[in-house]
Structure formats: C-alpha cells, structure tokens
C-alpha cells in the first residue's frame, strides 16, 4: 500500500479506564465483576465504569447502582479514588510521548498521535501500535484499544471497532465496507439530539449520511450537517494539535433565531437546548467549565456577553441555570433578541466582557464584520503570545 503522501494517525483509547486503574492498584479485583460508582452506598448512585467481568452481566456506564446490582448481585462497588486517574492518565501520555511530540489529548483516557514519517524510526503503524499497547500493559497494567488511519476521525472510529486490546486499521478506502453499514449513533461526534434529527430525515446509517442530499442536510442541521457528511465520507483535515499550556479553553453554542424573541420562556427554551449541546460536548471531552457565559445579540445587532464564575462543572443543569440567571440580570427586556448563545470556559476571574468565547457565524452588517475581524486578529495574537500581551479591551477602545 502506498501511503507515502498520506498521514498516519493513531488514536489510543484506554479500556474501562477508571475501573482498570483501580484493578491495577488492587489486584484482588482482577477476575471479579467490579465497577467504580459515584456513590456506591446509595441505590441511586451511578456506575461510572464497569470492568469486562461486570459488563458480561450487562452492567453499563451510567446505570443506577441498584439496577447494576440486580443484574449482577456479586458486583464489587468502589468509590472513585481522588487523583488516581489523573496520575495514570499522565503516565499514559508519557508513554505516548516517546513516539512523537505531535500528541493531542482528547479526554482523560485517550489521545491522538501523528506518526507521519515515523515508520523509518519505529516500523509500520501496526507494529508501533503493538509496541505502545505492550508498554501500556507492562508498565501501567492497563489495557487500551488503538485505531490507525490517515486522519483523526477515522482513527477514533477505528479504535471503537475492537475492544478491549484491539488494533484496528480504518483507511479511507475501507470506509464503504467497514464504516457505512454502522448505525448513525455509532458515529463519533453524534449525540442523541443529532441522531434524532438525522433519523427524522431518514438517515439511519453512516452510509445514509455519506450519500444524503446537501439541501436536506443543511435544512436539518445547518453548516454542521455538511461537516458531518464530510466525516461520514472519511474526510477530516483537522490536524493533531498538541495542547498549548494554559490557553483559554471554551465550548459554546449560539443560534440565530427564526424570529426575534421577546418572551422569557421562549428564551429559556432556546438556552436549554444550547446548554444541552454544550454540556454534551463538555462531558465528552471531560472539560469542566469554571465560568458560564451568555451572548445576547439584539435585533439592531448590538451584542453583549456576560459571564459568571461557577463551581467547575460540565453538567447541562449548571450551565443552563447560570445562563438563565445571567439572562434575567442582563437582558434589556424592551429589546428583542435575534441571537442567543451560551458557553463554558476555563476563565475563572473577572475578565472584561469584551472577551467573547463565541464564534458566531451570521450574515452581519459591514460594521459588525469589521469588529469581528478585529476580534479574530486579536484572538490569534493572544493565542501566539499569551493573553497578557494584548489586552483586547484596550485595543477595542482605541
Ligand atoms: Mg475514551
């Protein structure tokens, strides 16, 4: 196979991570059904991770403790050990860093590696994957699954195909046979809400999405729909990006409303659906926001953002409730809203309100477009030189 022009990307995903960490420090658990539970003593505690012995009884992540116990009465329940998973995650990342500095953590238990050009040094991708898997097993006493492809999306999809201890290649040429028959909810990046919307327009498999009519898709999901279609066709150009230290991180969603909103109940409904999407992504990437921001754009295009510090959270409820508080405090009720947004970020002090985390795509008057251009230019300066070099607020004031 000629891959000389193509990239080689691996996604390494730790299997049943929390409970496996517990088993590595408490070998007595090995071979017995066990799970980490949020609150093991309470019947309504939640299973956070079950080992494969417990999964054989049907115990699953997010199941209530009493449900899990009724399926598997001998199940050993363990509360989460503070600090253990972070420590193991760091050791895991250190092993990966032996192979390349081009390494991107996707969550506490998985990361992408760009190994393009590393074959000469370490051998074929599959043998590099075998080596990584062995080192993780012997040095950390943990299991992983590895996906190999030419881009991040396919590598992630591949890593899900065989668990535990699977090494799976999924190159673009394999997409029609290996990926298109999968149900749409098995596609990385599709949450339950998107799944529902896609099913409504008759898309049941990833193949259906790959072949879906652009107009129909845009109607159902906007720009995001086209992006998903590209992924379903195995196209993903996003690079593996090593995480820069202490950079503003945020997750946000905004929407231009079909008609201007003047009613609080209506505004709350919109905020809730956006907060659900933010929460979903935050939990998927294990990112707890230290503050919640909202953006309000009035029908004359003036835009305000307001934020509030919270106890770090990625729960939809916390995001939504804080958003509603902010809306109540800052919405000038005489003015109709044409766009609403909500997001979380890791900023936790009182940052000037000009610092917006929202990436708003909308047809704007030229004046606003200019402002956005300026903001984006400042963003890129900030990301290159650190946030103290350029004070966005002072620049905007000039
Ligand atoms: Mg994972």
339 closest CA partner among 369, 371, 362: 362
Residues by chain with Cβ below 5 Å of ion ligand 1:
13, 109-110
Whether residue 110 lies in the annotated active site: yes
- pLDDT at 392 (0 to 100): 33
Please give the structure tokens belonging to residue 102.
């081009």
What is the set of domains in the chain, with CATH numbers? 1-169 (3.30.70.270), 180-232 (1.10.150.20), 250-397 (3.30.1490.100)
300 closest CA partner among 373, 356, 365: 365
Percentage of the chain exceeding pLDDT 90: 60
Do you find a cis peptide bond into 164, omega within 30 degrees of 0? Answer: yes
Q: How far apart are CA 7 and CA 171, in angstroms?
A: 10
3-class secondary structure, 354: coil
Q: Which of 120-134, 167-181, 308-322 has the highest average model confidence (pLDDT)?
A: 167-181
Q: Tell me the average pLDDT across 340-364.
A: 61
Q: Above 60 in pLDDT, residue 283? A: yes
Dist. CA 29 → ligand 1 center (Å): 22
Dist. CA 97 → ligand 1 center (Å): 18
CA angle at 385 for the pair 381 and 386, rounded to the nearest 5°: 100
Percentage of the chain exceeding pLDDT 70: 85
- Please give the C-alpha separations between residue 250 and each of 123, 141, 188, 247, 356, in angstroms, as whole numbers: 38, 33, 20, 10, 10
CB of 155 closer than 8 Å to CB of 112:
yes
Dist. CA 107 → ligand 1 center (Å): 7
Rounded to 5 degrees, φ, ψ at 341 are: -145, 155
Q: Tell me the average pLDDT across 1-15.
A: 79
Alpha helices in 249-349 (DSSP H): 264-284, 316-330
DSSP per position, 12-37: EEETTHHHHHHHHH-GGGTTS-EEEE
Dist. CA 325 → ligand 1 center (Å): 34
Q: What is the CA radius of gyration of the chain?
A: 23
Q: How far apart are CA 107 and CA 110, in angstroms?
A: 5
Q: How would you class 159 by CB atoms within 10 Å of its CB: exposed for 0-12, middle for 13-18, buried for 19 or more?
A: buried
Q: What share of the chain is helix, strand, coil (3-state, %, to 5)?
A: 45, 20, 35
- pLDDT at 247 (0 to 100): 59
Question: Looking up tokens 């002072």, which residue turns up?
Answer: 394
Q: Above 80 in pLDDT, residue 378? A: no
Q: How far apart are CA 355 and CA 395, in angstroms?
A: 12
User: Model-level pTM greater than 0.75?
Assistant: no
Dist. CA 338 → ligand 1 center (Å): 38
- pLDDT at 339 (0 to 100): 92
pLDDT digits (tens, 9 = 90+) for 248-267: 688 999 988 888 999 999 99
Catalytic residue among 110, 150, 276, 277: 110
- Supply the mean pLDDT for the chain: 85
CB of 153 closer than 8 Å to CB of 136:
no
More confident: 366 or 243: 243
Bridge partner residues of 148 (DSSP): 10, 169
Pairing, β 144-149 against β 167-169:
parallel
DSSP per position, 79-134: PPPTTHHHHHHHHHHHHHTTT-S-EEEEETTEEEEE-TT-HHHH-SHHHHHHHHHH
pLDDT digits (tens, 9 = 90+) for 171-216: 999 999 999 999 999 999 898 889 999 999 999 999 999 999 999 9
Dist. CA 111 → ligand 1 center (Å): 9
Residues in the chain: 398
């Amino acid at each position: 196979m000629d891959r000389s022009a193509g990239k080689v990307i691996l996604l390494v995903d730790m299997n049943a991570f929390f409970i496996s960490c517990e088993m590595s420090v408490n070998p007595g658990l090995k071979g017995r059904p066990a799970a980490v539970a949020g609150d093991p003593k309470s019947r309504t505690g939640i299973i956070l991770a079950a080992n494969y012995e417990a999964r054989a009884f049907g115990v699953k992540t997010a199941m209530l403790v009493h449900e899990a116990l009724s399926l598997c009465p001998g199940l050993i329940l363990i509360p989460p050990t503070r600090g253990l998973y972070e420590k193991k995650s760091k050791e895991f990342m250190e092993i990966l860093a032996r192979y390349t500095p081009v390494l991107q953590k996707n969550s506490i238990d998985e990361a992408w590696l760009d190994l393009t050009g590393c074959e000469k040094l370490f051998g074929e991708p599959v043998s590099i994957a075998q080596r990584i898997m062995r080192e993780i097993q012997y040095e950390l006493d943990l299991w992983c699954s590895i996906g190999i492809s030419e881009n991040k999306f396919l590598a992630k999809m591949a890593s899900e195909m065989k668990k535990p201890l699977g090494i799976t290649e999924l190159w673009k040429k394999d997409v029609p046979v290996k990926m298109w028959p999968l149900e749409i909810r098995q596609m990385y990046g599709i949450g339950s809400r998107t799944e529902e919307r896609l099913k409504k327009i008759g898309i049941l498999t990833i193949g259906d999405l790959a072949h879906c009519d652009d107009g129909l898709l845009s109607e159902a999901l906007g720009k995001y729909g086209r992006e998903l279609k590209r992924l379903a066709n195995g196209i993903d150009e996003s690079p593996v990006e090593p995480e820069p230290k202490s950079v503003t991180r945020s997750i946000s969603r905004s929407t231009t409303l079909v008609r201007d909103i003047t009613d609080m109940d209506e505004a709350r409904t919109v905020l809730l659906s956006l907060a659900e999407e933010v929460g979903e992504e935050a939990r998927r990437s294990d990112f707890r926001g230290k503050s919640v921001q909202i953006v309000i754009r009035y029908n004359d295009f003036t835009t305000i953002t307001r934020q509030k510090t919270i106890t770090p959270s990625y729960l939809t409820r916390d995001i939504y409730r804080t958003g509603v508080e902010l809306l109540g405090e800052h919405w000038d009720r005489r003015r109709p809203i044409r766009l609403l947004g909500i997001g979380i970020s890791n900023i936790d002090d009182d940052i000037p309100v000009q610092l917006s985390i929202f990436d708003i795509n909308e047809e704007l008057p030229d004046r606003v477009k200019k402002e956005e251009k300026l903001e984006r230019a400042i963003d890129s300066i900030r990301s290159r030189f650190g946030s103290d070099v350029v004070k966005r607020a002072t620049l905007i004031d000039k």
